[in-house]
Structure 1
Amino acid sequence: MMKLLRLELRKFSLRWYFSSAIIATLSIIAMVALITYVESPSEVPLRNLEEAFIVIGAFVRATFVILAGVLTAKLIIEEYKNKTIFVLFTCPISRKRLIGVKLLLIAILTGVTVFVSNLFSALVVMLLNSYFHFFPGTPEEGFLLKQVLSMLTFSVATAGTSLIPLYFGLRKQSVPATILSSILIVALISSHNPAFSIASIVYVPLALAVVGVLIAGWTIRNVEKADVC
């Protein structure tokens, strides 16, 4: 399995993915800082550090679900569309294992980068807050532990959710459909306002993660039925 993962990493250069992840993370930090700093105090865009973390998490998950859609398009949908995946299927390795490795790579990359980006962004915002005092009070150890556990849970959920665009992409072997479906998912899971925030409800991405895992399982089970001609 690890050998196949390394082969996939060699086959597809992921420099664009990591570059995009770094740029997106820095942009999210700048966006949250600017929202807090520019808005007038009467409007209270972010009331406290906890709400800032919710917004950061929503931005991070939205970004990486879309990046996962692009990754799915590159690793799987384009190969089906160009018929190159059928050349890969002629190798003396199980088709299920080959497609499973691709899906595992997408899920792992998404989950890890979501957690790292979320954690880094939150730490930087906390550091900026210690100098500029955007939010009142000092975060306690219990609060920080709760936030880290929340980030881990959301990261795992996002990893599963990132597999949903695969279904829409495979139906018509369409790259645009794959990316568009990831954008629609983002619209569903990233809504936030002070009155009601879907972005703070972990059960929504967890439910979508179950759907994503079921789609991955369905894809792996049916890969043997793919037409080789």
Structure 2
Amino acid sequence: MLHLIKLELKKFNLGWYIKGAIIANIIITAVVCFVIYIAHREGDIPISTYEDVYVLIGSSVRGTFIVFASVLMAKLVIEEYKNRTILIMFSYPVSRKKLIASKLTLIALLTFITTMLSNIVVAGLFSIINNYFHIVPFTLTASQFIDEAINIVPFTIAATGTSLIPLYFGMRNYSVPATIGSSLLVVVIACSYNPEISLVTFIPLQLGLAAVGVIIAYLGIRNIENVDVM
């Protein structure tokens, strides 16, 4: 499996993904700062504690990289079926299940790593910017930062599982638009943020969506031997 993952990394130049993640972190930081600044300036203060800040950051990051995962899925899986290049891989003396499992494992690993790191990076950047411009009327301490970094782990795991849901829609007609479009719908459900009623912090929902994603991936891999490439 590890060898197959390495082959996938060599086959697809993921430099665009790294660059995209860096740009996304910068944009997310800017948007979070702007949203909080405007909220306080207009007198409507939905973000009154440091937990609210980290929830906003977490929802933004997880939503972004669920979409990123769908783009990866489109490139590594859906397009290969659509262009029939997957037939070349299926001609190797390796089971189809292992080939597809390696692709989905790579997508899951990249999603988990980038989501986790991006949460830390964006939160760190926001803390630095807040020290200079006082966007929020309270200080984000190092201990709070560490606590939130630990708390984000189960949500990142959940987001990784959730990111596999678009596979179902993409594989129906080998459609790239359906893969990416469905990820946006998933983000609307999984990352809905409201200080009063926030689905993004409702861990049973997050774990439930993750379970759905894992089941979809499992069923896709289990039945792959019987799927004809049209």
Contact 2:37 2:136 in 1 (8 A): no
Decide which moves more: 219-228 or 67-76.
219-228
Question: What is the rounded CA distance, in whole Å, between the counterparts of 1:227 and 1:194 in structure 2?
Answer: 47
Contact 2:81 2:229 in 1 (8 A): no
Q: 1:175 to 1:228 in 2, by over 3 A?
A: closer
* SS of residue matched to 2:106: helix
Whole-Å Cα distance in 2 between the matches of residues 48 and 135 of structure 1?
9
SS in 1 for 2:200: helix
The CA deviation at 1:94 is 1.3
Query: Root-mean-square deviation (CA), in Å?
Result: 1.6
Match of 1:58 in 2: 59
Q: What is the CA-CA distance between 1:136 and the residue it aligns to?
A: 3.6
3-state SS, counterpart of residue 223 of structure 2: helix
Query: What is the aligned partner in structure 2 of residue 221 from structure 1?
Result: 222
> Structure 2: which 5+ runs fail to align?
none
Q: Unaligned stretches of 5+ in structure 1?
A: none
Q: How far off is 1:184 after superposition?
A: 0.2
- What is the aligned residue count? 229
Q: Does the Cα contact within 8 Å between 1:48 and 1:136 map onto a contact in 2?
A: no
1:170 matched to 2:171: yes
Answer whether contact 1:28 1:59 (CA < 8 A) is retained: yes
2:33 counterpart residue number: 33
Once the two structures are overlaid, the 10-residue window that deviates more, 114-123 or 145-154, is: 145-154
Tell me the residue number matched to 1:4: 4
Q: State the partner residue of 1:133.
A: 134
Shift of 1:8: 0.2
Q: Distance in 2 between matches of 1:45 and 1:32?
A: 13
Which amino acid counterpart does residue 211 of structure 2 have in structure 1? V
User: Aligned letter for 2:33?
Assistant: A
Determine whether 1:18 maps to 2:23.
no
Residue 32 of structure 1 aligns to which amino acid in structure 2? V
CA distance in 2, matches of 1:22, 1:144: 20
Give the aligned partner of residue 84 of structure 1: 85
Distance 1:44 1:69 in 2: 34
For residues 151 and 120 of structure 1, what CA distance do their matches in structure 2 show? 13
Give the structure 2 partner of residue 107 of structure 1: 108
1:227 counterpart SS class = coil
* Aligned residue runs from structure 1 range 175-214, under 5 A: 175-214=176-215
User: Cα offset for 1:84?
Assistant: 1.1
- Bigger mean CA deviation after superposition, 66-75 or 132-141: 132-141
Amino acid at match of 1:105: L
The TM-score with structure 1 as length reference comes to 0.94
TM-superposed CA distance for 1:171, in Å, is: 0.9
Equivalent pair of 1:77/1:170 in contact (CA under 8 Å): yes
Q: 1:44 to 1:104 in 2, by over 3 A?
A: same
